[in-house]
C-alpha cells in the first residue's frame, strides 16, 4: 500500500485561510497574555506539543480554525435554558438561530428526523437519551422524596428504590472489556445505578459480536433499553440485527455512535452499518472522528423527540451557545464532499496500521479492524497497558491504555493499547506513514522492559532501552514535518 498525496479534497479544512487565522490567534493570545500570561503560554505550548507528537488516541482529532474560532465569541455570555422559541430567558433570538442551524445540519448530515444540539458532552447526550426513553415509556410517580436528595447523598438502598420506582427497568449494553463505554451500564457509572443492568460481550475466541448470543441474552433479560455502539471495538456492527433483537423483546434501541460518527457522516458506514435509520435514539459526540468541537448530539425518531427536547431542564442546564455555533460550523464542513474522502482515508489508514502491526508479529484484538480503531494486546510484549502507554509517550507517541476482553489486568492497568487514525489522517498521513507508525510502536514495545513484580504499583513501572526514545522521536519528526498541523498557522 502506498500513501496518497494530500490534496485539498482530503486535508483538514483551514489551510486556505491560514494567514487570516494566524492574525486572529496572535491577537487573541496577546489579549489573553495581558490578563494571565501563564494561560497564553500553556495554549501556545499545547499547539507545539500537538505538532510534535504522533497523536493516536482514537477519541481525539484536530478541529479546523473556523470551528475553534467560533467557540471564542460573546455567544458564551448568553443564558438560554429551554429550546428554540421556548426559552426561560429573554433575548435569545440569536441563540435560536444558532441552535436551529446546528440541528438542521445534523438532520441533513445523518438523515435523522430530529436532532438536539444542546448536550455538552457524549455522557450528557446519553443521559438525555436515557431519561427521554424513560419519560416516553415509563410512568414513575413518587420520585419527589428521592429527587430532594443530592445525587452524592443517595445510598445504594436509595438507588434501588429509585430503580424500582422507575418500574425496575433494565438496560443491556456492551461490557467494558469487550469495547463498550462506561455509560453503557458500567455499575460505578450513573447508567449502572439508574438501571438494573446486564452486559453482553464478544466471542472469547474471535473477539467478535455474536448476534445469536446477544439475542438469547435479550430474550432472557428483557431489557427496556438495548444499547449498541462502542468505544474500543475494532469492527463494524450490524444495527439492523440489533433493531430486530430490540423489536423482538420490546426494547428501545439506543445507539451511541460517538466514536464512529465521522464514518457514518462520511458514508463509510451505510445500510445496516448506519445506526440512524435503525435506532430509536442515536447519540454522539461532535469531536472524535466527526472533527468538531467537544460536545454532544441526540438524534431521534419522532416518537421520542418531545422528550429529548426537554433535555433542559430534565438533565442539562443552560446550553453552551458558543459551542452549539461551533457544532454548526463543523457539521457544515462534514456535509462537504471532502469530508467523505477524509472519512474513507480514516478507515483505509486503520487497515494499514493493523496490517503493519500484524506483519511485525503483534497481536490484535479481533485480528484486525474495519473501522478507525486498532486494539493492540500488549501481553505478548510482556507489558501491561499502563507500561506500554507510558513508554510510548516517552517516545512521543500519544495513545491510551485500554481493556481487552477478559482482561487479566483490569480496567486501570489493562492489557491493551487503543489506537485511532482520525487525527493523523487529518494531518495528511496515508498508508505508508501508518505502516511506519506501526514499526515505531513495535520498536518501542520491544525495547521496553517491565519490572518483575506482578501486582500493585509495579504493574506501571518499566524501563525503556537507551536511545529508543530519541530514535523514535527522530523518525516521527520526519513524518510530522512532511504533514504539518495547521499548515501556515504561525503564532
Catalytic residues: 79, 81, 256, 285, 288, 294
User: Do 457 and 451 form a contact (C-beta atoms < 8 A)?
Assistant: no
Q: How far is CA 23 from the centre of its chain?
A: 31
Please give the backbone phi and psi of residue 200, each rounded to the nearest 5 degrees, phi first. Answer: -110, 150
User: Do 487 and 62 form a contact (C-beta atoms < 8 A)?
Assistant: no
User: Do 128 and 316 form a contact (C-beta atoms < 8 A)?
Assistant: yes
Q: Strands 252-256 and 54-55: what pairing?
A: unpaired
Q: Report d(CA 470, CA 371) in Å as an integer.
A: 31
Q: Which of 76, 75, 51 is nearest to 62 (CA)?
A: 51
Question: 233 is written with which cell numbers?
Answer: 471495538
Residues in the chain: 491
Q: Which of 397, 435, 436, 433 is nearest to 418 (CA)?
A: 397
Find cell 426561560 and name the residue.
Answer: 88
User: Do 343 and 268 form a contact (C-beta atoms < 8 A)?
Assistant: yes
Please give the backbone phi and psi of residue 80, each rounded to the nearest 5 degrees, phi first. Answer: -155, 45
Q: Which of 430, 289, 335 is nearest to 7 (CA)?
A: 430
Please give the backbone phi and psi of residue 226, each rounded to the nearest 5 degrees, phi first. Answer: -105, 120
User: Do 223 and 248 form a contact (C-beta atoms < 8 A)?
Assistant: no
User: Do 98 and 92 form a contact (C-beta atoms < 8 A)?
Assistant: no
Amino acid at each position: 500500500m502506498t500513501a496518497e498525496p494530500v490534496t485539498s479534497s482530503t486535508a483538514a479544512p483551514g489551510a486556505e485561510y491560514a494567514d487570516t487565522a494566524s492574525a486572529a490567534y496572535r491577537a487573541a493570545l496577546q489579549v489573553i497574555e495581558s490578563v494571565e500570561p501563564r494561560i497564553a503560554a500553556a495554549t501556545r505550548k499545547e499547539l507545539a506539543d500537538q505538532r510534535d507528537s504522533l497523536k493516536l488516541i482514537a477519541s481525539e482529532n484536530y478541529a479546523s480554525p473556523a470551528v475553534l474560532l467560533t467557540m471564542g465569541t460573546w455567544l458564551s455570555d448568553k443564558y438560554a435554558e429551554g429550546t428554540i422559541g421556548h426559552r426561560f430567558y429573554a433575548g435569545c433570538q440569536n441563540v435560536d438561530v444558532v441552535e436551529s442551524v446546528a440541528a438542521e445540519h445534523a438532520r441533513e448530515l445523518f438523515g435523522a428526523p430530529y436532532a438536539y444540539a444542546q448536550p455538552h458532552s457524549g455522557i450528557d447526550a446519553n443521559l438525555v437519551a436515557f431519561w427521554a426513553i424513560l419519560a416516553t415509556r415509563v410512568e414513575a410517580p413518587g420520585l419527589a422524596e428521592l429527587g430532594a436528595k443530592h445525587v452524592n447523598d443517595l445510598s445504594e438502598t436509595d438507588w434501588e428504590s429509585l430503580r424500582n420506582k422507575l418500574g425496575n427497568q433494565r438496560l443491556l449494553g456492551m461490557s467494558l472489556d469487550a469495547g463498550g463505554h462506561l455509560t453503557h451500564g458500567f455499575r460505578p457509572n450513573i447508567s449502572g445505578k439508574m438501571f438494573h443492568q446486564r452486559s453482553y460481550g464478544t466471542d472469547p475466541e474471535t473477539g467478535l459480536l455474536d448476534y445469536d448470543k446477544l439475542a438469547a441474552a435479550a430474550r432472557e433479560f428483557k431489557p427496556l433499553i438495548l444499547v449498541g455502539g462502542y468505544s474500543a471495538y475494532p469492527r463494524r456492527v450490524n444495527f439492523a440485527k440489533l433493531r430486530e433483537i430490540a423489536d423482538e423483546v420490546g426494547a428501545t434501541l439506543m445507539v451511541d455512535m460517538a466514536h464512529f460518527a465521522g464514518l457514518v457522516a462520511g458514508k463509510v458506514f451505510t445500510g445496516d452499518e448506519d445506526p440512524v435509520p435503525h435506532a430509536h435514539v442515536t447519540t454522539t459526540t461532535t469531536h472524535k472522528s466527526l472533527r468538531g468541537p467537544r460536545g454532544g448530539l441526540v438524534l431521534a425518531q419522532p416518537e421520542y423527540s418531545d422528550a429529548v427536547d426537554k433535555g433542559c431542564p430534565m438533565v442539562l442546564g443552560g446550553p453552551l451557545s458558543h459551542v452549539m455555533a461551533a457544532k454548526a460550523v463543523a457539521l457544515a464542513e462534514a456535509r462537504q464532499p471532502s469530508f467523505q474522502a477524509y472519512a474513507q482515508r480514516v478507515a483505509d489508514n486503520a487497515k494499514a496500521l493493523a496490517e503493519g502491526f500484524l506483519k511485525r508479529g503483534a497481536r490484535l484484538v479481533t485480528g484486525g479492524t474495519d473501522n478507525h480503531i486498532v486494539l493492540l494486546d500488549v501481553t505478548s510484549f510482556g507489558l501491561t497497558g499502563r507500561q506500554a502507554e507510558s513508554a510510548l509517550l516517552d517516545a512521543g507517541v500519544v495513545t491510551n491504555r485500554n481493556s481487552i476482553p477478559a482482561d487479566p489486568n483490569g480496567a486501570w492497568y489493562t492489557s491493551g493499547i487503543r489506537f485511532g487514525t482520525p487525527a493523523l489522517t487529518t494531518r495528511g498521513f496515508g498508508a505508508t506513514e501508518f505502516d511506519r507508525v506501526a514499526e515505531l510502536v513495535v520498536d518501542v514495545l520491544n525495547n521496553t522492559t517491565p519490572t518483575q513484580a506482578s501486582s500493585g504499583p509495579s504493574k506501571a513501572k518499566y524501563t525503556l532501552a537507551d536511545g529508543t526514545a530519541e530514535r523514535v522521536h527522530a523518525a516521527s519528526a520526519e513524518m510530522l514535518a512532511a504533514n504539518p498541523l495547521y499548515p501556515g498557522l504561525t503564532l
